[in-house]
Amino acid sequence: MGKKFFVAGTDTEIGKTTVACGLLAAANQLGLRTLALKPLAAGADNIAGELRNEDALALMDSASVKLAYEQVNPVLFDPPIAPHIAAQQAGKRITVSQLAGYCRGALMTSSDFALVEGAGGWRVPLSGRETLAGLAVELQLPVILVVGMKLGCLNHALLTAEAIQRDGLPLAGWVANTVDPQMACFDDNIATLKHFLPAPCLGVIPRLQDAQGTHVAPHLDLAQLAL
Catalytic residues: 38
Longest dimension (CA), the chain: 49
What does DSSP say about strands 113-121 and 143-149: parallel, antiparallel, or unpaired?
unpaired
Burial per residue of 78-117, b for 16 or more beta-carbon CB atoms within 10 angstroms, e otherwise: eeeebbbebbeeeeeebebebbbebbeebbeeebbbbbbb
What sign does the CA torsion over 196, 201, 139, 80 have? positive
Helix (H, G, I), strand (E, B) or coil at 127: coil
Bridge partners of 109, per DSSP, are none
Give the list of residues 6+ apart from residue 40 with CB closer than 8 angstroms, or none.
Answer: 73, 75, 76, 83, 94, 99, 118, 119, 126, 132, 135
Q: How many whole angstroms separate alpha carbon 225 and alpha carbon 227? A: 6
